[in-house]
Amino acid sequence: MPFATFSDFFPLPPTLPLLHYSQTSQQKTPKTLLSLFSASMADKPQMAAITLGGKASSLSSTSVFLISNKLSQVRIDSSIFERLSSSSNSNVVSPSIKYQIEYPKFLTFEEIRASATILLSKLLLSASPIRIEIPNLICKTLNSESTSLVFESIDVTEEEKCVLDACLSVSVLDGICALLDYGASCLSPVSEMVAALSCEASKANVSAFNLVDSGDGKCVKDEASVASDLKVLLNGSKLTGKVEVDAVSSIPKVYGSLRASARAVHSIARAELNSVTKGNVGGTGEAWESVLMSLESVLRNLGESSLSRADLSVSSIVSDGLQSSLKSLIDEKCPTKQNLRDAYMIASKAACEKDYVKLVHNVNELFGLVMTAVSWEMITAIASLEGSDLLDKNEVAANGENAKVDKKKDKKKKVFGKGTLVVLELVRERLQNVIEDGADVHANLQKLADNLCSLLDPKVPAFGNFIEKIKEIVESNESRRLPKIPKGTRDFAKEQMTVREKAFSIITDVFKRHGAMALDTPVFELRETLMGKYGEDSKLIYDLADQGGELCSLRYDLTVPFARHVAMNSLTSFKRYQIAKVYRRDNPSKGRYREFYQCDFDIAGQFEKMGPDFEVVKILTELLDELNIGEYEVKLNHRKLLDGMLDICGVPPEKFRTICSSIDKMDKQSFELVKKEMVEEKGLLEETADMIGNFVKEKGSPLELLLKLKQEGSDFLKHEGAALALDELELLFKLLEKSKCVDKIVFDLSLARGLDYYTGVIFEAVFKGTTQVGSIAAGGRYDNLIGMFGSKQVPSVGGSLGIERVFAIMEQNQKDQNQIVRANETQVLVGVVSRPGKSVEDDLILAVELVNELWLAKIKAEYVTVKKVFKIFERAESSGIPFAVMVGVRDLKEGIVKLRDVKAKTEEEIPGDKMVEVLLKRLETSS
């Protein structure tokens, strides 16, 4: 599935000539009322109308934008007249108050019209009685040809005045925010397209766009989506990838934040535009405040980022005349970063003063500045990429054929991205009849700027077409997107693999220390092998398509395949370990994957009572200690103790497993929620659930809690199974105490481990640090599992380390401690510097001859052939290689090589035949 695009996050504005509005109701209305409304629409030119007030109609930000810019008329749904008429007839109070609809003087004409549109909609939605004359007045005024919006005064009742007062201020907030909602949805795709052009104009390195969203919380989704769209636009470009530019590397974060902020604005706008006013303007303002504060911050950052790239595009222009003219126009018409900061501060001040009307107005003003900045970013990028061809036509006339040849050569060198090329062709077509032959550069540049500003003006039809073109480019280039891995899976980069290999080495050493032997099993099993072993979690098993008459599923864990192997081979004793991938059809989240490694250790066979149980728990503590992840605890319980507890509380035996599954959720939910599930979903009596609650809240030091549970008169001692479990736990805790790891153990009666196959001791390790990953290891005794495969019973106990979650902790620890992981183990880099008269093949032969001597001596080595000796140093330093051997022209003649200590930055000359001997001594000393 490809990355989500901007159109997946919020709806694109429609192409303006192709508007879609709600249908006008066909309900019949009295002619006297219709005639009132018809007067407001008389003698108007044919224009699409937006209908308000219908039962099924809803007001959108796009509709508000169109009405506010006189791109559409407004119409009241005919069904509303009957309701308003009934309200007017029932209202016995005669209007006696003169009322004038007025808006703050600082609002723009567009903002006032947007506010009036919302006011009309709010009045039509109002449950309070309003005479038809009031909404009809607003409708008539909005549809007038006047370039200023002045409402006639009207006589109203006291109640109507209250409704108007309540709706008036709210209409300003919602009206301007509707404009911002529409504007943000336009700005996102346009600004990303313009940013792509700037990347080519500035020849920027775009490696920052190599973000991948794996669905596990490691990458911000919006940032990854922006990066993906930009890679689509720039796919195939030969202009990018040369210059490190901060304003380019920050694009995913800045523009991803715009997508998130625009989505938040859209979410509130959609609700507020069609809500009934409650008369609380403060509440409405507070609803908008947080998202607007976020939006203004995002807008300022985006505007400054856009202006920075515009500066880079201007600097990349080689024609002095063109560059000078462009700078002059920018100084005259383009906002500065200081302008953006000033507008941001004014909006922030209004927010601090809780002046919500000024806040929305000021944020809208800031939005206008940013839209202008983006327009000028596009102008500068086009001028840089196409300026010589579009504007310098007189240069060709003056310099003749040579200039034409030079221009053709220059043009051939430019290979644009597949997406940006479409935009450039669109621009060339627009400017074809605008740029005049013979006119000076400045005049033509002025025409180019005016035309492109018009192209990015949301009020003109060309803008809607441009938005559609961008959407078409992105969607038609889906096949050119980078491939994406399924959610809940991961690729592991070289640094991550270094950490994983080290961890696996530690884990394997611990397992082997305890006498375990390796086992590997198929990644999928027969479905019948897996089903019925995992309780309610069986729904998470991945089923495979039927192939060859067998129903198979990916393995859910390593324990059931181990049990199947033991049963199938009639083994009676086996101490095994296995490190392999397992699969869960789960919802991926941070630290939770659909494909992940498990590290299992199991002991099967007849041994001393609690001996294997103790050893498995001991191994678990050794693993976590040697992996050095930080503080953890191992929660421990006994399944027979749980069953005894449920029996004592009166739970029917057939419900033991399902109630255990509920109890097992207490590490993530309160007991009240668990109790609700047990009572309402699983049919347990409330008093029974309360009794369970008294037990499962018990946890603490193993020996202390055990002593409490074995006190005289304890219900557990009266229960045969529970008493046996307490005796086994007592022995286990003594063994753990003797092995000096009981301080890591917490005896917890709420630990249930929902898997069906557990029969005895159960345990679960939990990380206590700041990284939230859930349990990091678990296991227990399962004496009956192997016998479920039709063989004789072989008692077993085992544990599994959730290695992926452990890696999440280790990676976070490295990040917090600023640790740098070296991805290779190379000890020596052999470098041959190009020699006069020798071919590249000759240099390669010499490099291979030298490095082979090191390989034969078991030295980890790599080789390079370079033109400049400093390239060898750069490669060694960047890869963390401690030593470098260098051979140049003079060195070869004299039979020597140069040995460089990369870290100390010292060099010495050594005889070529002593190279291996010297290096072995150096490596032994340095280790």
Cα torsion 709, 710, 712, 716: sign: positive
In a domain, 401, yes or no: no
| Rounded Cα gap, residues 383 and 380, in angstroms | 5
Q: Are residues 165 and 204 in the same domain?
A: no
pLDDT along the chain (927 residues), means of 10: 35 38 34 35 57 78 91 83 55 74 90 91 80 87 86 86 85 91 90 92 88 59 86 87 87 92 89 72 71 92 94 88 87 93 94 90 94 92 80 48 46 76 86 72 82 84 81 66 74 82 92 93 92 80 82 91 91 92 82 84 92 94 91 92 88 83 79 86 86 86 90 85 92 94 91 78 88 82 86 88 84 75 84 83 89 92 89 87 86 83 88 90 82
* CATH code of 597's domain: 3.30.930.10
Q: Are residues 518 and 594 in the same domain?
A: yes
Burial class (CB in 10 A: 0-12, 13-18, 19+), 494: exposed
Structural domains of the chain, count: 5
Q: Are residues 738 and 871 in the same domain?
A: no
In a domain, 102, yes or no: yes
In a domain, 779, yes or no: no
In a domain, 681, yes or no: yes
Q: Are residues 545 and 604 in the same domain?
A: yes
Burial class (CB in 10 A: 0-12, 13-18, 19+), 145: exposed
pLDDT of residue 407: 47
| Rounded Cα gap, residues 211 and 205, in angstroms | 14
Residue 866's DSSP bridge partners are 833
Q: State the virtual CA torsion across 700, 701, 702, 707 in degrees, nearest 10.
A: -90
Tokens 């072989």 label which residue? Answer: 794
In a domain, 398, yes or no: no
Phi, psi of 435 (to 5 degrees): -75, 130
Q: Which amino acid is residue 596, in one-letter code?
A: F
In Å, what is the CA distance from 752 to each residue of 696, 702, 760, 779, 882? 10, 16, 11, 11, 52
* CATH code of 850's domain: 3.40.50.800
Q: Which amino acid is residue 247, in one-letter code?
A: A
Q: Are residues 290 and 142 in the same domain?
A: no
Radius of gyration of the chain (CA): 37
Q: Are residues 209 and 156 in the same domain?
A: no
Residue 861's DSSP bridge partners are 828
| 828-833/861-866 β-pairing | parallel
Residues constituting the chain: 927
Prediction pTM value: 0.56
Residues of the domain holding 160: 49-84+95-177
Residues with Cβ within 8 Å of 270's Cβ and at least 6 positions away in sequence, in order, are 60, 61
pLDDT of residue 218: 55
| Rounded Cα gap, residues 366 and 372, in angstroms | 10
pLDDT of residue 830: 92
In a domain, 15, yes or no: no
* CATH code of 241's domain: 1.20.200.10
In a domain, 31, yes or no: no
Q: Are residues 689 and 599 in the same domain?
A: no
- Give, as one character, the DSSP assignment of residue 207: G
Q: Are residues 532 and 455 in the same domain?
A: no
Q: Are residues 558 and 603 in the same domain?
A: yes
Q: Are residues 438 and 527 in the same domain?
A: no
Q: Are residues 423 and 436 in the same domain?
A: yes
Q: Are residues 503 and 594 in the same domain?
A: yes
In a domain, 663, yes or no: yes
Considering 160, 177, 194, which residue would you say is the last residue of a domain?
A: 177
